[in-house]
Amino acid sequence: MDKPGNKTYRRIGMIGGTFDPIHIGHLIIAEKAREEFSLEKVLFITAGIPYHKKKTFAPASHRFEMVKTAIKDNKYFEADDLEIKRPRSSYTFDTILVLKKRMPNADIFCITGEDIFNELKTWHRYKELVKNTVFLVAPRREKRVKTIPKIPHLKYYFIDSPFMDV
C-alpha cells in the first residue's frame, strides 16, 4: 500500500460483491478490466452485510475464503476483507473512501456489471461516489441498454469482455 510521501501513481481496480459464490464470470471480468485499463492490481472485496440483498447463503468468512481460493493463482488479484470487518452494511462509497485513504496516490476503478451500473442512482451517496471513482462496466447483454445514468461527474468505460449472462 502507499506510504506517506510516496508519489507513485497507481491504478487499482476493485470488484465488490457478496461472492455467494464467486464464479468464473467475476474472474474473467476482473482480468479483462486489468488488462484493458492497465490496472496494477484488482481487489476483490467481499461484502460483509450487503445492503441490497436480504440474505446470503454462506457466512461472510466462508465467502471470503472462497474468494481467496478462487484468485490465488493470479498475482494481480488480491482479496480484501475491509467490508467484512465493518459492523454495519457495506456501501461502495465507504469502501472507496477507505481505499483512497490507504492509497492516496491511486486512482480507484470500480468494476461492475452493466445491470448494477444502470441502477447507480439507487446507490448510497451516489452523487459523491461518482466524484471519487471511475467505473469499468462489464456488458451483460449482447446489445447495450441505453439507460446509462445521467449523473454529473460520472466517468465510465465499458470493458471489452465477452457477453456474460450471470
Going residue by residue through the chain, which has 166 residues, state the pLDDT in tens, using 9 for 90 and above.
444 445 566 999 999 999 999 999 999 999 999 999 999 999 999 999 877 766 778 999 999 999 999 999 999 999 999 999 998 888 999 999 999 999 999 999 999 999 899 999 999 999 999 999 999 999 877 656 667 889 999 999 999 977 665 5
Domain count, the chain: 1
* C-beta separation of 114 from 141 below 8 A: yes
Assign residue 87 the CATH number of its domain: 3.40.50.620
Beta strands in the chain (DSSP E): 10-17, 41-46, 77-80, 106-113, 134-138, 156-158
Q: Does some domain include residue 37? A: yes
Residue count of the chain: 166
Q: Does some domain include residue 135? A: yes
pTM of the full structure: 0.89
Task: Give the helix/strand (H/E) hosting 117.
Answer: helix 114-117
Residue 78's domain spans which residues? 10-150
